[in-house]
Structure 1
Amino acid sequence: MEHLEPVKEFFQQISDHPIFRKTPEDEEAIVDQSITLCRDYINFKLAQGGLIHKRGTGPELDNFSEVSAHIIVTGFQLEQFHPSVYKDVCRKLHLNLSSDAVISDAVHEVANELFRGGINWPRIISLFVFTGALASECVASYHPDYVHTVTTSFRDVVERRLATWVLQRGGWVDVVTTVDGFRYNHSLRVQSIISAAVGFLVALLLTGTT
């Protein structure tokens, strides 16, 4: 369909980037990599929903970098555990998808709530899941041009709030080890961290931003 051409062009390149295999030199590198990670997550999300490819014909996890694949797997698990949180986000946030500013404000507002109590990987992954849900609803509502705004807004959040923390952890690759812990460690501590991350979104989406 013609209205999907912009988003298809946006996702022509998927990641298998050697930049994730070495320690980033500075925060600028963290920010640059975040664009690829966000685009990969949204690309996979849209493909799984049949929004840019026929179901079953989209990119496989093996097509992505290890970092992107881990974020995708954990994000989809988080969404499966809490499906009501990441569904109908535009309605819950009273978004009318009328402008780039509306989309950008929504991403920043959610980020403000998520990271108000601190930064950790579950909260960061929760932001990936939110951006994927928002981008999907933009495409489904015939506004694929807003997908780029979702991605750039995510990048801005990383630049302003997350880059220093991620760099101190050794870069985005740190999520690979951490995500393995969340997938296979069922301790109360891990469960409480994930629940806290989701809790921020629950509170925000129940009250809306307006």
Structure 2
Amino acid sequence: MEMLRRSSVFAAEVMEAFDRSPTDKELVSQAKALCREFIHSRLGRAGIGWNKPEQSGPVPGAKMSEVSIIMLRLGDELEYIRPNVYRNIAHQLNISLNSETVVSDAFLAVATEIFSAGITWGKVVSLYAVAAGLAVDCVKQAQPAMVHTIVDCLGEFVRKTLVTWLKRRGGWTDITKCVVNTEPQRHFHWLVSIVCNFGRILKSMFFFVIRER
């Protein structure tokens, strides 16, 4: 009986570990790991080398790897619909990439504007595409250290703005429930509006940065 009781307790503990909601710290850490994967993919596609920090490693866990794959695929679709929106972002924002403060402020301002009318998975993917596009600009302009600044900024934005929303959905893996068919045309209905809105956001942010100078 004692052995059965201990087995039951152990089983309960295991189930609790799997069922528990992710902590704020875990969600932010996962957000940054996903961002590194997204940036690494975009730099590789542009033919630019970049070494991720050794301590970061790949996105941990099979489920998070699936999240990364889905986000990259949805990011591909965003960029396919409007290829110029997520390229040359620094030029579109008219900012210098020599200052961490300028890069951080511009990225956080764009992020805030993207989510000003609410949070959706489409906007989350758009945020990652912005981060990756800006990171590509930084590396091309011989500012690779700024990539880490962008990753940290995204993590901080997630901590302040997206953590509560993510926890209500059980974490990053919720995005896997939103994608039933991964054929590009299946997502046009919600991705098109995201891209169009982001185009307006970049235009408004250009004037925002000008005013702040």
Does the C-alpha gap of structure 1 residues 135 and 184 become closer, same or farther in structure 2, counting only changes over 3 Å?
closer
Q: Which moved more, 1:126-135 or 1:197-206?
A: 197-206
Q: Does the CA contact (< 8 Å) of 1:24 and 1:30 recur in 2?
A: no
Does the C-alpha gap of structure 1 residues 52 and 184 become closer, same or farther in structure 2, counting only changes over 3 Å?
closer
Instruction: Please name the residue that 2:202 is paired with.
Output: 205
Identity %: 31
What SS does structure 1 have at the residue aligned with 2:117?
coil
Letter in 2 for 1:173: T
Q: Please identify the structure whose Cα radius of gyration is greater.
A: 2
Does the C-alpha gap of structure 1 residues 102 and 69 become closer, same or farther in structure 2, counting only changes over 3 Å?
same
Q: Does the CA contact (< 8 Å) of 1:131 and 1:150 recur in 2?
A: yes
Q: Give 1:201 shift.
A: 1.6
Does the C-alpha gap of structure 1 residues 179 and 132 become closer, same or farther in structure 2, counting only changes over 3 Å?
farther
Instruction: Please name the residue that 1:46 is paired with.
Output: 43
The one of 16, 19, 28 aligned to 2:25:
28
Instruction: Please name the residue that 2:99 is paired with.
Output: 99
The root-mean-square deviation of aligned C-alpha atoms, in Å, is 2.3
What do the CA deviations read for 1:117-136 (whole angstroms, capped 9, x no partner)?
00000000000001010000
TM-score under structure 2 normalisation? 0.76
What do the CA deviations read for 1:48-90 (whole angstroms, capped 9, x no partner)?
111007xxxxx9xxx9811111111111111111112112111
Q: Does the CA contact (< 8 Å) of 2:96 and 2:103 recur in 1?
A: no
What SS does structure 2 have at the residue aligned with 1:50?
coil
Q: Does the CA contact (< 8 Å) of 1:23 and 1:171 recur in 2?
A: no
Q: Give 1:23 shift.
A: 5.5
Instruction: Please name the residue that 2:71 is paired with.
Output: 71
Q: Give 1:185 shift.
A: 7.2
Name the CA distance, whole Å, in 2 between partners of 1:30 and 1:93. Answer: 29
What SS does structure 1 have at the residue aligned with 2:44?
helix
The 5 A counterparts of 1:122-133 are 122-133=122-133
Letter in 2 for 1:92: Q
What SS does structure 2 have at the residue aligned with 1:180?
coil
Q: Give 1:151 shift.
A: 0.3
Letter in 1 for 2:90: C
Aligned residues: 179
Does the C-alpha gap of structure 1 residues 84 and 177 become closer, same or farther in structure 2, counting only changes over 3 Å?
same
Does the C-alpha gap of structure 1 residues 203 and 184 become closer, same or farther in structure 2, counting only changes over 3 Å?
closer
Name the CA distance, whole Å, in 1 between partners of 2:49 and 2:153. Answer: 21
Q: Give 1:183 shift.
A: 4.3
Q: Which runs of 5+ in 1 are unaligned?
A: 1-20, 54-58
Does the C-alpha gap of structure 1 residues 22 and 66 become closer, same or farther in structure 2, counting only changes over 3 Å?
farther
TM-score under structure 1 normalisation? 0.77
Q: Does the CA contact (< 8 Å) of 2:108 and 2:157 recur in 1?
A: yes
What SS does structure 1 have at the residue aligned with 2:143?
coil
Name the CA distance, whole Å, in 1 between partners of 2:156 and 2:96. Answer: 22
The 5 A counterparts of 1:107-122 are 107-122=107-122
Q: Does the CA contact (< 8 Å) of 1:89 and 1:134 recur in 2?
A: yes
Q: Which moved more, 1:44-53 or 1:34-43?
A: 44-53
Q: Which runs of 5+ in 2 are unaligned?
A: 1-17, 51-57
